Amino acid sequence: MPRSHEAGTAAEAEKAPAISATIIPIVYAGLLLIIPSRLVVPQIGSPGTPANLWAIGGLLVWMAMTVGGRNPVRGLTPTRVTLTLFAIAVLISFVNGNSAGWFQPADIHQTSDALWQDVTMQELNTVLISAGDRGLLALAGWAGVMLMTSESPRRWADLEKIVSWVVGFASIIAALGIYQYFTGANVAAWFNIPGLSTLREQVTFTRSEVNRVVVTAAHPIELGVVSAAIFPLALHRSLHAGRRLLPWAQTGMILVVLLMSVSRSAIVVLAVAMLVMIAGWPARWRLWALVVTPVAAVALRAALPGLLGTIRALFTNLENDPSIAGRTDDYEIVSRMVMEHPYFGQGLFTWVPFYFRTIDNQALMFALELGLVGSAVFVIMVATHLLGALLARTRIDDRRSRHLALAIVAAASGLLAAYVTFDAISFRMAAGMTFLLLGMAGAVWDLTRPQPQGSRSAVPLDRADHRSA
């Protein structure tokens, strides 16, 4: 029978290791959100962030556990199958790019990119070979966090614990972001960690004289998108918090800081995520959402004068927005470059803006770097996890666990909607959160699927679990 309905015994609980494997995704989330994404191990470069190195270690742990028979998950799972296909697609694109080589078209330069460089073929190939290597290191980290997040929870309380820590880390960042909004302080400069160096200095962002917070992210868009994706998880905890006020305070701070990023993409992520949440809510909750939303908007307008007006202008003045025009100008050059490697692409991370042009659309970036095949595999991986989690909800009796599955699907759906508004994979925090959320969706499936004799047993949340989560 499905593990979500099994009654766990004390003997089964004692089989769990002294240190739960959920420590790997929890620590990863902390490293990803708290440590500025610009800080890396200098000898490794871009993939050398503490979060990615930890995730690669997680992949090694998963391999050791699985080969050694210590992994309670057995057989093929949607996560294992689709992630393997995605990894194969990335490896094929790596080989395809290295075997065919790269070139820099004469008309690739966009005048708005002051950092663009004209280089020789030899220099370009040297740089992009190294970029492709970084793509493989990033893939290893994504695979590690996705597999460990999917397979480490043995009961719903474990998955709730991961979500709780993610929300906690996000609320810390939100508090720092609110401080940055009012003071203009460079919060990222506070983090001086021995052994790490910065790839480039943090800069201050403004829009219509409004401070755009960035905190530990690489850009306000990234902070806003990630905060908006975490918001449904925070809301889930608040709705099941009983009389506790802290979860509501965390949810409120996360909402405020995503608005303070003054990002169109963040609003898109929030809108998509909340549409998914509301679609799965009972009618009574939907009515409350209709009542609370305008009240919250009025309160925010009074507390943060000018902020909501600036955000509204992002959507009412689209025809005069140069960033929109820049995105549409990319289509012709992208379609031409995709035809150079139409099926397998030129290699993950090898579309370097300094030598080509900035593409603020991850769907187009995947077409360039992974080709049509790799892009299709990524879509299949995403669809499998989101639809699988939604299907798993029908097998869950516990209302809180069923709502948790909905919140995870909403968070992932919102974040993935931003893949057509900015180049998400180029931003470490957004990329890492994508695979962390897909891993959570995989855990929902794994916690509800029928299990053969001897494999891991998940325990439904009881009252004590609810209090601890």
Can you tell me which residue has the tokens 């993610």?
Answer: 166
At 403, the amino acid letter reads H
- Statement: residue 157 has pLDDT above 80: yes
Question: For residues 214 and 263, is the Cβ–Cβ distance under 8 A?
Answer: no
The pLDDT mean for the chain works out to 87
CA 229 to chain centre: 8
**What distances in angstroms separate CA 4 from CA 17, 149, 450, 454, 456, one per listed residue?**
20, 17, 9, 16, 11
Measure Cα distances from 229 to 175, 300, 376, 424 in Å.
Answer: 17, 20, 23, 13
pLDDT digits (tens, 9 = 90+) for 265-304: 999 999 999 999 999 999 999 999 999 989 988 888 888 8
Return the minimum-mean-pLDDT range out of 30-44, 110-124, 216-230, 392-406. Answer: 110-124
Per the CB < 8 A criterion, the answer to whether 231 and 259 are in contact is no
Q: Residues 6 or more apart from 162 whose CB is under 8 A from it?
A: 22, 25, 26, 29, 149, 153, 440
Could you tell me the pLDDT band of residue 8, with boundaries at 50, 70 and 90? very low
Q: Could you give the CA distance from residue 145 to residue 438 in angstroms, rounded to a whole number?
A: 10
152 touches 24 (CB < 8 A): yes
- Residue 211: the pLDDT is 79
Q: Could you tell me which residues are beta bridge partners of residue 212?
A: 205
Higher pLDDT, 334 or 319: 334
Q: What is the pLDDT of residue 12?
A: 41
**Is 375 a residue whose pLDDT tops 60?**
yes
Residue 105: the pLDDT is: 84
3-state secondary structure of 206: strand
The CA distance from 19 to 162, in Å, is 14
What is the C-alpha end-to-end distance of the chain, expressed in Å? 25
Cα R_g (the chain), whole angstroms: 22
* Count of the separate structural domains present in the chain: 1
Average pLDDT over residues 219-226: 95
18: pLDDT strictly greater than 50: no
Cα 390 from chain centroid?
19
Average pLDDT over residues 390-418: 96
Domain extent, residue 86, equals 3-468
**pLDDT computed for residue 288 by the predictor:** 92
Residue type, 259: L
- Give me the percent of the chain exceeding a pLDDT of 90: 62
**How many angstroms separate the CA atoms of 188 and 217, rounded?**
8
For residue 274, what is the enclosing H or E element?
A: helix 264-280
Higher pLDDT, 412 or 5: 412
Whole-number pLDDT of residue 175: 97
